[in-house]
Chain A
Amino acid sequence: MTPRWSTASIRVQLTGWYTVVLCLMLVVYATATFVAVRHEFLEQFDDQLHDDFETAEGFLAPTPDGRIVWSGDRHHDPDNDEDRGSDVWAAHGEPIYRSGASAALPPVALAATTSQPRYESLVADGRRWRTLTGTSLVGGRAVVLRVSRSEERLRQQLWEVLVVLAFGLPLVVVLAGVGGYVLARRALTPIDHLASEARRITADRLHERLSVPNQHDEIGRLAAVINNTFARLESSFDQLRRFTADASHELRTPLSVIRGIGEAGLGETRTPAEYKEAMGSMLEEVDRLANLVDTLLRLSHGDAGTVRLSREGVDLGQLTRDVVSSLGILAEERNQRLAIDVADGVLVKADRLVLREAITNVVDNAIKYSPQGSTIHIRVHSNNGQAILTVVDEGTGIAPEHRERIFDRFFRLDEARSRDNGGTGLGLAIARWAVEVNGGQITVDSGATGGSIFRIALPTGDAAATPHREHATQPKGGHT
Chain B
Amino acid sequence: MRVLVVEDERKLAQVLESALQAEHYDVVVAPTGEDGFFRANAEVFDLVVLDLMLPGRNGLEILQTLRQRHIDTPVLILTARDGVDDRVLGLDLGADDYLVKPFALPELLARIRALLRRGRPSEVFRLKAADLEMDLVARRATRGDRLLDLTAREFELLEYLLRHQGHLVSREMLAREVWKEPRRATPLDNVIDVQMTRLRKKVDAEAGERLIHTIRGVGFVLREGEP
Contact = CB atoms under 8 A, between A and B. Distances in A.
A complexed with B = yes
Contacts of A333: 194
Interface in B177-221: 179, 182-191, 194-195, 198, 215-218
Contacts of A364: 186-187, 190
A291 B216 contact: no
B92 interface: no
Interface in B149-183: 179, 182-183
Contacts of B185: 357, 360-361
B191 A327 contact: yes
Contacts of A283: 216-218
A281 B198 CA distance: 23
B216 A327 contact: no
B225 interface: no
Given A297-B82, A364-B187, A284 B217 contact: yes
Query: Which of B179, B215, B217 has the most CB atoms of chain A within a 10 A radius of its CB?
Result: B217
Contacts of B82: 297
Contacts of B187: 327, 330, 360-361, 363-364, 427
Nearest to A423: B186
Interface string A260-301: 000000000000000011011111111100110000010000
A282 B195 contact: no
Q: How large is the interface on B (under 10, 10 to 19, 20 to 34, 35 or more residues)?
A: 20 to 34
B158 to A, nearest CB: 16
Contacts of B217: 279-287
A424 B186 contact: yes
B170 to A, nearest CB: 9
A33 B177 CA distance: 98
Contacts of A363: 187
B179 A326 contact: yes
Contacts of A3: none
A290 B102 contact: yes
A463 interface: no
B102 A357 contact: no
Interface in A383-436: 422-424, 427
A422 B216 contact: no
Contacts of A282: 217
B194 to A, nearest CB: 5
Nearest to B172: A287
Interface string A162-199: 00000000000000000000000000000000000000
Interface of B: 82, 102, 179, 182-191, 194-195, 198, 215-218
In the A-B complex, the 6 residue pairs with the closest CB atoms: A283-B217, A280-B216, A364-B187, A280-B217, A284-B217, A329-B194
